[in-house]
């Protein structure tokens, strides 16, 4: 870091906007992604506590668990991963390839969890696993999922906001940033950081897990938690929380036609790979908003949060789509 900002001139011309991309898929650990910035703070806390084992929960094709396992290995720590069944009707390929294969290559111990939409139950299960590890003599640090815990990971994107502002002298002003909004920590950290620095750039979150109303409640609540964590109030106006859920259906981690089109279009126009769960849906949302004239201006930054290894977990679905196109 800093990760580069690159121009997407072909796709931008197609959409009639000045389009660029912030390459947080290049953050440098195990195929990169936004979670690397967040994990700096979780692992900092883990090391301060003297932990020798880290424990995390996520979806079967979680990018968070993959980067956690990789950084744990760099720090000579053990890693236990709980994989939640969030996506119905998935194939064996989804369960065995992509991020799951990388988790196994990294030597992480994997614990299956049948519930996919119960964050409290997932966190409770982590504590049960941690108790077993403690009984074995391990000192375990838990990276939690639910909103009951301080948003440590968001601090990585408060710093990323400062990084972006430092790059604006070179790349020029930005009217709108389009970014995935799921757990919301990347979204809130970036928005909070920009406002602290006096920037009024629109930050648009593309919903990848829940509808806009529910996600807005989560974003607002987590912003308050971040203020408490930093003991720092910042003027976030109601209109600052911008969300679009038009690409969410049929649900988290499930492909739709617009997302598949966005993945293929970005690859063929820019040579840039997106993933089906996060960045593909985010680009699909950006394309729709541009084509319907709903962006805040013509100078748009797409924040690439990584996730490309998950493409291989969707190879069967994507291959069928590519065959139909051919």
Active site positions, annotated: 62
Instruction: Say how far apart CA 76 and CA 47 lie, in whole Å.
Output: 11
Radius of gyration of the chain from its Cα atoms, rounded to whole angstroms: 19
**Closest among 156, 151, 65 to 104, alpha carbons compared:** 65
Place of tokens 């968070």: 64
**Closest among 295, 285, 310, 228 to 58, alpha carbons compared:** 310
The answer to whether residues 259 and 238 touch, using CB atoms and an 8 Å cutoff, is no
| Strand-pair partners of 119 | none
Instruction: Say how far apart CA 182 and CA 33 lie, in whole Å.
Output: 14
**Closest among 258, 244, 242 to 210, alpha carbons compared:** 244
The answer to whether residues 39 and 152 touch, using CB atoms and an 8 Å cutoff, is no
Instruction: Say how far apart CA 58 and CA 82 lie, in whole Å.
Output: 6
Place of tokens 């020029």: 172
Q: Could you tell me which residues come within 8 angstroms of residue 59 by beta carbon, excluding any fewer than 6 positions away?
A: 83, 84, 86, 87, 116, 252, 253, 277
Instruction: Say how far apart CA 262 and CA 285 lie, in whole Å.
Output: 9
Neighbours of 181 (CB within 10 A): 31
The answer to whether residues 36 and 67 touch, using CB atoms and an 8 Å cutoff, is yes
């Amino acid at each position: 870091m800093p990760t580069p900002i690159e121009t997407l001139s072909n796709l931008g011309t197609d959409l009639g906007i000045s389009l660029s991309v912030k390459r947080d898929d290049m953050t440098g650990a195990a195929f990169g992604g936004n979670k690397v910035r967040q994990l700096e703070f979780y692992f900092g806390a883990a090391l301060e506590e003297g932990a020798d084992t880290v424990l995390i929960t996520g979806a079967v094709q979680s990018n968070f668990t993959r980067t956690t396992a990789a950084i744990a290995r760099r720090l000579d720590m053990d890693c236990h991963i709980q994989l939640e069944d969030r996506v119905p009707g998935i194939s064996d390929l989804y369960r065995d390839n992509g991020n799951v294969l990388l988790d196994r290559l990294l030597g992480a111990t994997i614990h299956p969890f049948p519930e996919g939409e119960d964050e409290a139950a997932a966190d409770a299960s982590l504590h049960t696993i941690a108790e077993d590890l403690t009984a074995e003599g391990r000192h375990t640090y838990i990276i939690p999922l639910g909103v009951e815990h301080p948003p440590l990971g968001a601090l990585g994107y408060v710093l990323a906001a400062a990084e972006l502002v430092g790059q604006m002298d070179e790349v020029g002003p930005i009217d709108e940033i389009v970014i995935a909004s799921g757990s919301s920590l990347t979204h809130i950290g970036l928005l909070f950081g920009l406002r602290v620095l006096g920037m009024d750039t629109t930050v648009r979150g593309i919903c990848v897990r829940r509808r806009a109303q529910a996600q807005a409640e989560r974003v607002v609540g987590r912003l308050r938690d971040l203020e408490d964590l930093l003991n720092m109030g910042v003027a976030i106006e109601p209109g600052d929380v911008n969300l679009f859920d038009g690409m969410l259906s049929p649900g988290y981690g499930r492909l739709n036609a617009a997302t598949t089109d966005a993945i293929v279009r970005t690859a063929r126009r820019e040579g840039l790979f997106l993933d089906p769960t996060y960045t593909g849906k985010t680009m699909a949302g950006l394309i729709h908003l541009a084509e319907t004239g709903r962006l805040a201006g013509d100078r748009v930054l797409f924040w690439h949060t990584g996730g490309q290894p998950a493409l291989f977990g969707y190879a069967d679905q994507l291959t069928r789509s590519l065959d139909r196109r051919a």
